[in-house]
Structure 1
Amino acid sequence: MNDKNTTHTTHALWRYWRGLGGWNYYFLIKFGLLWFGYLNFHPLANLVFMAFLLMPIPALRLHRWRHWLAIPIGIALFYHDTWLPGISSILSQGSQLTGFSADYLLELVTRFINWQMVGAAFVALIGYLFLSQWIRVTVFTVAALVWLNLLAIGGPAFSLLPSAPSTAATPGPAATPASADDTANGQLPAASGPPTSANLTAYLDRFYQQEKKRATAFPASLPADAQPFDLLVINICSLAWSDIEASGLQNHPLWAKMDIMFDNFNSATAYSGPASIRLLRASCGQTSHRDLYQPVNNQCYLFDNLAKLGFKEQLMMDHSGVFGNYLKELREEGDMQAPLMSQAGIGNELASFDGEPIYNDLQLLNRWLEQQKNGGEARTATFFNLIPLHDGNRAVGSKKTADYAPRAQQLFDQLNTFLDQLEKSGRKVMVVIVPEHGAALVGDKMQMSGLRDIPSPSITHIPVGVKLVGMTAAHPGSPLQVKTPSSYLAISELVARLVDGKAFSADQVDWQTLTQGLPQTAPISENDNAVVMQYQGKTYIRLNGGDWVPYPQ
């Protein structure tokens, strides 16, 4: 009797199987985005959500309540499946968003809307409504999601389409075992084993452990015959190789003036504060993002090492440094305590996204040069941060973001002119151009144009150039190219090799020897919620401490 009642109840329950209805369209849109690589899809979470929607409920009122309850859950799950910044990241940046002007915020919103995708979604809706008249779409939706879960069993990293090799990726050397001593001397950590999440995480941990052992050895004192010179580090916000190519400025004469160019330099981050901290701490190996805000040994601070050898520290900026507590971070985490050079009387043709003036960089550089001539300091080390290329900057009096290419052209022209003036001055100066990170002019499947929450290779692959002004020896006919994977430790090592200044008075400079054996650094980049790295020639990403997946191409 009980078995008969149970069977009757079960049959009655399954009479209320209603299918997915309009939620089919929700999942079909996800499948389409996943097919083209626009989602960080979580198969199991979506399968659980689908099971919740399909579970038979006899009471029609409860069935309707379930659909209302599913709406916020579906929106949250869709957001979770995208590459968009996590909620924690948005909250952490919330104070900075309040500093944006209303015009810039509106521009970001309109930039976020992809009208091609909107049109494709509309076509998909009409197609779904048309076919659902004759086809039970739920069957195909369930089958597709079950298949995706079966694919995911083999590992967290899967793709519906074959992925093309990353054009921005820097191919590394063949994976060969490297000891800790080898790594300290410039060898990259071994990338052995298949690219599972466990192996990728182990590789990242091994990288940071090995980086802790690396540091630049500056001399305890300068020799008696050392030649005085100035170090000028120009830290440009929002400039990567991809931005230069998108602007058509790769042949600008500025780059031909360099003595040394680092072709495969990785900024290791996509945000300004962390990038400048990493540069100021260039004398030690690369740290994780979290460790940037932890105390470090004084030997890590490049400018502190130079100050011990008699270089006077100087600081210049073409902005106030208030936004994002940038200047505060330089003081607290980068140990840059030099007073900010006066900006009084300097003109400005640009205003930043928060409405503050951006001062003319050539005028600032000329002021710096005059102070070097009249200051009486034999040796100086200057950190100059400039932001005319930052997203959202506009001409004074305008509400529209100024085009990037003309701003980059003007900046390159100003730096080119300054180098010419520097040559004429007779001052011996080592000029190092090191951008913070790229502008993300060209977006990808993970991020729209201008968004830098994820430190993708196109954002962190930056042009780094070195120019020795005032040398006795002739400059090379074209820049010597350092092609090995490099980062800030290579700059610190190069400065240490030149710190005695003898290269400026030498009759001949052996550029090959000067740059031979500079520290190599694996291309690993990290923001507070994302890690991007290359492993066996391919690029992988981990968001919010989750599983590793191939970077979508």
Structure 2
Amino acid sequence: MGAWSLYFLAKAGLYHAGSIGFGWIGNLLFAAALAWPLRWPWARRARRWLAWPVALGLLYHDSFLPGPERLLAGLGGFSAEYLWELAARAVNPWVALALVAGVAAYGLLARWVPFTVVAFLGILSVPAVAELGAGPAAASAVHSAAAPADPQARLQAFYQDESRRKLHLPAGGTPAFDLVVLHVCSLAWDDLDVVGERNHPLFARFDLLFSDFNSAASYSGPAVLRLLYGACGQVRHGQLYRGAPRECQLFPVLEQAGFKTGALLNHDGEFDDFSKLLEYRGGLRGKVQVSRGAPVHMRSFDGSPIYDDLAALSAWWRQRQGQGGQPAALYYNTVSLHDGNRVSGSDTRSSLASYKPRLHKLLNDFDRFIGQLESSGRPVVLVMVPEHGASLRGDKMQFAGMREIPGPRVTLVPAAVKLIGLPGRQGGGPLVVDRPTSYFDLNSLLADLVADSPYGARARPLSARLGSVGTTPFVSENEDVVVVRNAAGGYRMKAGQGAWASYAF
């Protein structure tokens, strides 16, 4: 096997460090094919050439990188500058140093140490450690009699419970307020901690703050569908793109309750067919607009324009005030914080370095927009709910900006509600909901506000309405990976058809 022994030893080491997965059967077969003695020189030459694509493909399969279709779709739209930035992030200097040290050790010791045998032992250590119940794959070998301790049983029970949840809004009435939903790409609690903005003044202006809200997705497409299908309980990722019954689609349900619905984007909506997703899957057909009249504030990772948030929202509000009549329900989507954005006139070329000033501007823009709503004197319920986080720091399994694993650093987001124009509101900061919640819980509160207006003379206070806010256990999912939180507060993950493993980030 020669120097190929280092390939298997390095992968086994990364697996035991929790940085990659490891399909030990596939790796064992590949190692056996490399070690098998071949008589003919042409066969040995062919094996040397064929080994490289097999090795790279196997490494890609064992990693937590996005699936090939998603990766190729993304690479086709990314600018060369953004691709270079991603490549630089993917290089871990400590891993590179360890590889150099490994190569040096191999060169010094290959004459005396049977590295082929050591490599096979490294491969077999993966199932051995799992069988002993001490390693990242240990969950596959532990089958508890109690269903709550089994992540697969826990997941099945979760989806059964969620399938029975359905929102009920009064139909055919005239709501007492307008509704604005700010859907923010790339903002999690962990990102706020990284840049030191968890206590930004905007959050103190909200009336209700969800500290353990799970967006349940790590990419924009699934995230928007989970929000827009939030009139029913959480479904599996595979069900999202099959559509949802109309009674599960939030904005058609709001329309039946008396709102005039619409959508506004601060981007062109072309990447990943985002606008079409809103129209044909999200119940907003013919109602999606792009803020082309607002100034271009920055350029996206694919070079497309991103429009100024405050200008876009202000223009919509001026138009709304001129219309009067039927209450409006607006879905607003902003990608101002998305990875790879380039700010005009900025000194930095790194989108990670520009995240904090971009975040500061966005939060200040929302703050000023709230001020505009308040000065109008009109009753408005404003909801801010991020799609997912930016993964600014990454974790042991994925580099900064990568969101293939929908763990808590990516999907625990600062959702918040503000009742604008509420008479006699007392200060003192927002009420905090610290139990596990997600979209259905938030929408249950909205349903309560629609059914029993908070703006009436004898309306119940917001604190009395928190009983309508339920709880949703933490389950986050994308196409390839699902992450659940156990009763002890730890996390388990499962990639594809692989085994459940501990997720330590």
TM-score, normalised to structure 1's length?
0.84
- Residues 501 and 357 (structure 1 numbering): CA distance in 2 closer, same or farther, change over 3 Å? farther
- CA separation of 1:487/1:429 partners in 2, compared to 1, >3 Å: closer, same or farther? same
1:381-420 CA-to-partner distances (Å, cap 9, x unmatched) read 1111111000111123679344100000001111111112
CA distance in 1, matches of 2:167, 2:392: 34
Secondary structure of residue in 1 paired with 2:332: strand
Distance 1:374 1:62, change over 3 A: closer
1:415 is aligned to 2:366 = yes
Match of 1:274 in 2: 222
Distance in 2 (alpha carbons) for counterparts of 1:96 and 1:191: 43
Deviation at 1:124, TM superposition (A): 1.7
CA contact (8 A) 1:539 1:551 kept: yes
Q: Distance in 2 between matches of 1:323 and 1:349?
A: 18
1-side partners of 2:422 and 2:148: how far apart?
A: 50
Q: Is 1:159 aligned with 2:133?
A: no
CA gap 1:256/1:130 in 2 versus in 1, 3 angstroms: same
- Give distance in 1, aligned partners of 2:435 and 2:467: 10
Is 1:232–1:383's contact at 8 Å kept on the other side of the alignment? yes
Counterpart in the other structure of 2:441: 490
Tell me by how many angstroms 1:505 deviates. 3.1
Q: Which residue in the other structure is 1:332 paired with? A: 280
1:551 matched residue in structure 2: 503
2:389–2:410 CA contact under 8 A, matched in 1: yes
Q: 1:101 aligns with which of 68, 71, 79?
A: 79
Q: Are residue 35 (structure 1) and residue 35 (structure 2) matched?
A: no
Counterpart for residue 168 of structure 1: none
C-alpha deviations, 1:369-388, integer Å up to 9, x for none? 21222111241111111110
Match of 1:111 in 2: 89
Could you tell me which amino acid in structure 2 is paired with residue 386 of structure 1?
T
Q: Secondary structure at the residue paired with 1:452?
A: coil
* Separation in 1, partners of 2:398, 2:6: 24
How large is the Cα RMSD of the aligned pairs?
A: 2.6
Residue 245 of structure 2 corresponds to: 297
Structure 1: gaps spanning 5 or more residues: 1-19, 163-189
Give the aligned partner of residue 356 of structure 2.
405
Change (3 A) 1:342 1:143: closer
Report the CA distance between 1:509 and its aligned residue. 4.4
Determine if contact 2:292/2:307 at 8 Å carries over to the other structure.
no
Report if the CA contact (8 A) 2:483-2:493 is conserved.
Answer: yes
Q: Does 1:229 align with 2:177?
A: yes
**Counterpart residue number, 1:132:** 110
Matching of residues 26-425 of structure 1 within 5 Å: 26-58=7-39, 62-63=43-44, 65-85=46-66, 89-153=67-131, 158-159=135-136, 192-193=146-147, 199-222=150-173, 228-341=176-289, 343-396=291-344, 400-402=349-351, 403-425=354-376
Contact preservation (8 Å) 2:182, 2:333: yes
Moved more, 457-466 or 396-405: 396-405
Give 2:19's aligned amino acid: Y
Q: Is the 8 A contact 1:211 1:286 kept in 2?
A: yes
State the Cα distance separating 1:221 from its structure 2 match. 4.4
Match of 1:8 in 2: none
Give, in whole Å, the separation in 1 of the partners of 2:71 and 2:322: 42
Cα distance in 2 between the residues matched to 1:427 and 1:311: 15
State the shift of 1:285 in Å: 0.5
Cα distance in 1 for residues equivalent to 2:292 and 2:204: 33
Change in Cα spacing, 1:500 to 1:75, as seen in structure 2 (3 Å) is: closer
- Asked if structure 1 preserves the Cα contact closer than 8 Å seen for 2:454 and 2:461, the reply is no
Opposite residue 221 of structure 2, the aligned amino acid is: G
Deviation at 1:337, TM superposition (A): 2.5
Instruction: Mark the CA change 1:476 to 1:52 in structure 2 (over 3 Å): closer, same or farther.
Output: same
Mark the CA change 1:270 to 1:332 in structure 2 (over 3 Å): closer, same or farther: same
Q: So what's the TM-score if we normalise by structure 2?
A: 0.91
Give how far 1:493 is off: 0.5
Which one-letter code corresponds to 1:158 in the other structure?
Answer: G
Deviates more, 1:262-271 or 1:46-55: 46-55
Is the alpha carbon distance of 1:262 and 1:338 closer, same or farther for their aligned partners in structure 2, counting shifts above 3 Å? farther
Shift, 1:112, TM fit: 1.8
Q: Residues of 1 paired with 2:243 and 2:290: CA distance?
A: 30
Aligned residue identity for 2:20: L
Q: C-alpha displacement at 1:464, in angstroms?
A: 0.2
| Corresponding residue number in structure 2 for 1:539 | 491
Verify the 8 A CA contact 1:34 1:160 in the aligned structure 2.
no
How much does 1:432 deviate? 0.1
Q: Is the 8 A contact 2:19 2:398 kept in 1?
A: no
Larger Rg, first or second structure (1 or 2): 1
Structure 1 counterpart of 2:94, one-letter code: Q
Amino acid of the residue matched to residue 340 of structure 1?
V
Greater Cα offset, 335-344 or 286-295: 335-344
Quick one: distance in 2 between partners of 1:322 and 1:144? 47
Structure 2, gaps ≥5 residues long: none
Check whether the contact 1:44–1:149 (CA below 8 A) recurs between aligned residues.
no
For residue 176 of structure 1, what is the aligned residue in structure 2?
A: none
Judged with a 3 Å threshold, the aligned counterparts in structure 2 of structure 1 residues 49 and 511 are, in CA distance, closer, same or farther, namely same
Larger displacement relative to structure 2 (54-63 or 67-76): 54-63
Deviations 1:411-469 (CA, angstroms, capped at 9, x unpaired): 11111111122212101100000111111111112211112222222111111000000
Write the deviation string for residues 60-82 of structure 1: whole angstroms up to 9, x where unpaired. 66455444443333332222222
Secondary structure, aligned partner of 1:485? coil
Q: Given that residues 473 and 504 in structure 1 are in contact (C-alpha distance below 8 angstroms), is that contact kept between their aligned partners in structure 2? A: no
Residue equivalent to 2:474: 523
Give CA deviations for 1:189-247 in whole Å, capped at 9, x if unaligned.
Answer: x993485xxx433332332222111101112444xxx7621000000111111111111
Question: Would you say the 8 A contact 2:391–2:409 is kept in 1?
Answer: yes
- Distance of aligned partners of 1:263 and 1:548 in 2 relative to their CA distance in 1, 3 Å threshold: same
